[in-house]
Amino acid sequence: AQSVTQPDIHITVSEGASLELRCNYSYGATPYLFWYVQSPGQGLQLLLKYFSGDTLVQGIKGFEAEFKRSQSSFNLRKPSVHWSDAAEYFCAVGGFGNEKLTFGTGTRLTIIP
């Protein structure tokens, strides 16, 4: 069965600092990987996705993620966070022909001035 682990429930970073959110997945074949962001009271918005090819993928809002097959990881990064990045972030995994995505439990990001 596919699964996603986001080991950090809550992360606090200073505005302008770099960010890395961790995601580990379990999937029996080649995974399709995603990061979503959810602002309070809102639905989820896709930040980026990885299907194949270059293991470093660029997304919206200055985010990027790196797929590391050997570590079963897909960590999300941003070089300099802004106060507007405060939100909850979800990692998800699926696979070719399997339209169902499995989500992690999320990481809540707090930005301090």
Partner 1 sequence: DAGITQSPRHKVTETGTPVTLRCHQTENHRYMYWYRQDPGHGLRLIHYSYGVKDTDKGEVSDGYSVSRSKTEDFLLTLESATSSQTSVYFCAISSGDYGYTFGSGTRLTVV
Return the DSSP state at 40.
T
Q: Among all chains, which residue has been given the structure tokens 């499995």? A: 102
Kindly calculate the radius of gyration of the chain based on its CA atoms and give it in whole angstroms.
Answer: 13
Closest CA to 9 of 111, 78, 90, 63: 90
Q: Which of residues 2-61 bind partner 1 (CB under 8 A)?
A: 6, 32, 34, 36, 41-46, 49, 51
Q: Does 105 bind partner 1 (CB under 8 A)?
A: yes
Closest to partner 1 by CB, 28 vs 41, is 41
Cα(15)–Cα(43) distance, integer angstroms: 24
Binding mask 73-102 for partner 1 (x = CB under 8 A): -----------------x---x----xxxx
Measured CA to CA in angstroms, residue 53 lies from 67, 73, 97 at distances of 10, 16, 18
Closest to partner 1 by CB, 15 vs 86, is 86
**Closest separation in Å from C-beta 12 to partner 1:** 18
- Between strands 10-14 and 107-112, the pairing is parallel
**Closest separation in Å from C-beta 74 to partner 1:** 14
Instruction: Tell me which residues touch partner 1 (CB under 8 A).
Output: 6, 32, 34, 36, 41-46, 49, 51, 90, 94, 99-106
